Amino acid sequence: MKRRVRMERGFEEDAPVDEAPPVPGGGAGGGAGGTTGVPVESAEGAVARLEDQIREATDRHLRLAAEFDNFRKRVARERLELADRAQAALVIKVLEVLDDVDRIVASDPATPTATLLEAVLLVDKKLRKELEAAGLERIDPAGQPFDPAWHEAVSIVAPERPEQDHTVAATFQIGYRFRGSLVRPARVQVYSSEGHA
Terminal C-alpha separation, the chain:
114
Closest among 135, 149, 141, 144 to 178, alpha carbons compared = 135
Q: For 78-94, what is the mean pLDDT? A: 89
pLDDT by residue (tens digit) across 103-158? 999 988 898 999 999 999 999 999 999 999 989 999 999 999 999 999 999 999 99
Q: For residues 183 and 138, what is the distance between their CA atoms, to the nearest angstrom?
A: 10
| Domain boundaries defined on the chain | 44-134, 137-197
- CA Rg value for the chain: 43
Superfamily of domain 137-197: Head domain of nucleotide exchange factor GrpE (2.30.22.10)
* pTM of the full structure: 0.55
> How far apart are the C-alpha atoms of 4 and 7, rounded to whole Å?
5
pLDDT tens figures, 34-46: 456 677 888 888 8
